[in-house]
Structure 1
């Protein structure tokens, strides 16, 4: 079944394309292709239903956690899943079979998210806030190992020119499930949402990682090259030396840093919506629906073209986000009627969701295609660790600036995004190397 469907999707009648993978791995491409799609669908659904920018923020507010703790969960979840990757890379390099590291990470993410549901049921105020923060830290560390390992597995099991579309399909299918979840939440918001309603969402989200772990364990993986002890003497410092010695990689890091505007601007759009429309529960459902529809509509297209030129996808996507941000700045500043319209914020988040999917699919495909073997793991770990640190710094600066003007932060991030579009466009096209 996998074989027939794979050939249908890629119109491969006779000889299979197996660029950048071994002959042994080539035999199992269809099976591994769909197993990774299915596992990604479940983890992406879980990510959306436990998103710190929306669901966890709502939940922590509901249990009366202090604002200063609520403000920690976004940078902790995002940076916490990136910064440790350079440490995990040294560990991963010593494992010939690596899929079990992903499975362990998924199981720990299940435990972390499920514990948030339990905490919300039995704790309130400051204790609930700190316990949820601790659970988010556990989740982030586990996610860090799984994220790094998944890119290595994708590079070993899926050929070039097929990786972007695989990610696009998984995001699109998960978008359908997210849309269904958002519609259900919107329907339920007609009644008074209780703590049980929110915790049930969290428990359901946690279960997605359990299912994903079971699916991922079925991937057929062949041994990787194990890093010798002598190659690991300098450890982490040798990995960071890539920033000095590899200009191509350094340029990618600069471009990816400027692309952060799509991730960092999302919470500020939510804040604007709460300021000008209100904090009604239906907004949460609408925002999740907007994200689901954006994924369904855009991900297959982004994925298809990322396999042709992932750097151009990054450039186009961040350009969309930047133009949107500039438009919103002038709308909020000068058009009173429009900024109070209830429909504008779900539409804005829909467009931002399209742009963010393009940035994510583009940069993930790019970093996988620009390297091979253990070099790929080093590229991914160093880039994510550096970006995680920058995310903390830029996120903290944005939080300070937001005290003066929320729309001003969006404008600043949009200007950085324009620079990111130019820098991304100037990168080499790794799909043709």
Structure 2
């Protein structure tokens, strides 16, 4: 049954597309495909239910944490999981079987998120704020172990031209669960806005990582390449030499840095909606639902496209994000009637969600297909560390709002996106 479903999802005939895997690994592709899909679906659901931009921000506000601590949680969540990766690559590269690293990271994430719920029950004020930040640091560190190891496990267990589809279907399935969760949260928050409701939500989110760890542990992974002992004595910064010596990798990192505009633009769309329409709860609900629907319907398309050409996927997706940004700014600045219409912002957020999904799937598929073995681990760790640093540097982009308008920030990010599309398109195909 799973074999038939796998063939249907991937439009595959009896002849397997498994030229880049060992014979033993090829025989286990179907089972591993669905184990990875289910495990990542649960982690994405957990991510949504503990989102620092919504649930965690509300919790910290509820317990009276200082504003400066609340402002730290998004950069820590996003970049804290990337920067340590180059330091842990040496450890991961020694392991022939790497799924257990992912399982360990998932269990630590479960503990860290559960600890946040405990903190909000028993502490308040600055103490609660600092404890939540410490829990997020632990969460992000564990997440970095999962990020590096997952790319390598996927590369060892899923053949090329199937990895993008896997990511696409994962996002779609989790998108359905996220959509249902969002509707439930909106419904319940109207009648039960107590701390118990939100802490129970966090506890439930922590459990998703336990389920994911159990499923991931069942993956049939075969021993892979490891580094020799002398090579482990390289300095911490030696991995960054890849940026000097590997032209293709350097160009990918530059392109990926420019692609950040699709993620960084989202909060400013919300600010536009709040400024011109209001801060009603139903508007936030519409934005959440729009983003969920965008993930559901677009991810399979982006996944199939990424398996054909992941660099073209990145280019097309970030172009869409940039065009949407420019158009929404033009509409807002030129038409007082349109900018006060509530429907315009969920539609823009929906299109941005589609574009961001393509950016994520494209760059993830590209880096996995670009290399093999420990080279893949090095590529993932170095690129994520660099992007993490860039995210920290751009984390203060909200300060620009006090200097220029929100519309101006969206335009600047859109211009970076257009250049990112150009740099992505010029990358060589790796599929």
Same fold (TM over 0.5): yes
Give the distance between the partners of 1:244 and 1:183, measured in 2 at CA: 48
Give the structure 1 partner of residue 89 of structure 2: 89
Give the distance between the partners of 2:277 and 2:56, measured in 1 at CA: 20
Give the structure 1 partner of residue 155 of structure 2: 155
Spell out, residue by residue over 1:2-40, the C-alpha distance to the aligned partner (whole angstroms, 9 max, x if none): 223222333444331113211111110000001000001
CA RMSD of aligned residues (A): 1.5
Give the structure 1 partner of residue 398 of structure 2: 399
Report how far residue 371 of structure 1 moved: 0.3
Instruction: Confirm or deny: 8 A CA contact 2:321 2:352 kept in the other structure.
Output: yes
Give the distance between the partners of 1:343 and 1:368, measured in 2 at CA: 38
Instruction: Confirm or deny: 8 A CA contact 1:48 1:288 kept in the other structure.
Output: no
Q: For 1:180-199, list aligned pairs within 5 A.
A: 180-191=180-191, 193-199=193-199
- Structure 1's unaligned 5+ residue stretches are none
Give SS of 2:154's match.
Answer: helix
Give SS of 1:190's match.
Answer: helix
Instruction: Confirm or deny: 8 A CA contact 1:171 1:299 kept in the other structure.
Output: yes
Give SS of 2:337's match.
Answer: helix
Spell out, residue by residue over 1:254-303, the C-alpha distance to the aligned partner (whole angstroms, 9 max, x if none): 00000000111112222333333333333443332222111111000000
Report how far residue 200 of structure 1 moved: 2.1
Instruction: Confirm or deny: 8 A CA contact 2:10 2:165 kept in the other structure.
Output: no
Give the distance between the partners of 2:288 and 2:205, measured in 1 at CA: 14
The aligned length equals 430
Spell out, residue by residue over 1:371-400, the C-alpha distance to the aligned partner (whole angstroms, 9 max, x if none): 00000000000000001101111222x122
Report how far residue 192 of structure 1 moved: 5.2
Spell out, residue by residue over 1:80-124, the C-alpha distance to the aligned partner (whole angstroms, 9 max, x if none): 011111011111001111100000100111111111222222222
Spell out, residue by residue over 1:338-377, the C-alpha distance to the aligned partner (whole angstroms, 9 max, x if none): 3333333322222111111100000000000000000000
Change (3 A) 1:332 1:134: farther
Give the distance between the partners of 2:111 and 2:233, measured in 1 at CA: 35
Instruction: Confirm or deny: 8 A CA contact 1:261 1:416 kept in the other structure.
Output: yes
Change (3 A) 1:316 1:222: same
Q: For 1:328-339, list aligned pairs within 5 A.
A: 328-339=328-339
Give the distance between the partners of 2:137 and 2:423, measured in 1 at CA: 33
- Structure 2's unaligned 5+ residue stretches are none
Give the structure 2 partner of residue 301 of structure 1: 301
Give the distance between the partners of 2:172 and 2:117, measured in 1 at CA: 27
Change (3 A) 1:364 1:189: same
Q: Mean Cα displacement is larger for which, 338-347 or 178-187? A: 338-347
Change (3 A) 1:61 1:335: farther
Give the distance between the partners of 1:274 and 1:125, measured in 2 at CA: 27
Give the structure 2 partner of residue 234 of structure 1: 234
Give the distance between the partners of 2:267 and 2:123, measured in 1 at CA: 26
Give the structure 2 partner of residue 99 of structure 1: 99
Change (3 A) 1:209 1:104: same
Q: For 1:4-403, list aligned pairs within 5 A.
A: 4-191=4-191, 193-396=193-396, 398-403=397-402
Change (3 A) 1:344 1:148: same
Calculate the TM-score normalised by the size of structure 1: 0.96
Q: Mean Cα displacement is larger for which, 37-46 or 326-335? A: 326-335
Change (3 A) 1:204 1:173: same
Change (3 A) 1:59 1:269: farther
Give the structure 1 partner of residue 416 of structure 2: 416
Give SS of 1:336's match.
Answer: coil
Q: Mean Cα displacement is larger for which, 75-84 or 12-21? A: 12-21
Give the distance between the partners of 1:414 and 1:11, measured in 2 at CA: 35
Instruction: Confirm or deny: 8 A CA contact 1:182 1:286 kept in the other structure.
Output: no
Give the distance between the partners of 1:334 and 1:116, measured in 2 at CA: 45
